[in-house]
Structure 1
Amino acid sequence: MPYDIYVPIKRSFLAEGPSRNNKPKERDRADEALKNACQLFEGFLLAEICKSQLAVARALGPNPKGPFHQLEEIALDVVCEQVSSRGGVGFWKFLYEEIATDYDGRTEK
């Protein structure tokens, strides 16, 4: 019987078409890139805040610039980047939600 091998085509397959299949992947990649950019920005911002506070503390102390000044700044950069990549203080999430609602015509948070 020829009807035994008949498999109906899903209606959603015909409605989507091949051109719409890439949209979610592109949006996911854009969302991931935006998330990473927000986390990096939070890391840079935290590092600058820490460096400015360290400079104030040094200015008040007996030795304004010690021999390990550059090493301290590099350590602050690394620590702040790690803090931000592991959740941070929450600024990147706020920034991500604000930007994500504005780009690409999306309005949901």
Structure 2
Amino acid sequence: MPEQKHTPGPWVARQVGGLGFPGQIGYAIDFNEDQEQVVDFVYEEADAKLIAQAPNLLADLITAAGTLRHYEALHRAKNTDDSLKKAEVNAELASRFERTIAKATF
């Protein structure tokens, strides 16, 4: 598993006002509720929600890649035409996930 250098979750998106313009509404992404530190400010609620879920998405992607590699190995062990095709599908998906994980964790 890649070394995770990001701040661990939970991250929380919350609505804030006064971001430089009167009446301007934005969203703060706080990490670790106890720390009360802000990692980012964004103006769109959808962006804030996505950013706040980044640690969970990364953890789920790591789990999914590992699961796909497990099933790839099981299918390869059966060594039938059908199981080898399934192994290749699992391998391709795992590889895509692993490339994304690498970009997120460098």
TM-score (normalizing by structure 2): 0.35
Structure ranking higher in strand proportion: 2
**TM-score normalised by length of structure 1:** 0.34
Task: Tell me: higher relative CO, structure 1 or 2? Use CA pairs within 8 A at least 6 residues apart.
Answer: 1
Structure of larger gyration radius: 1
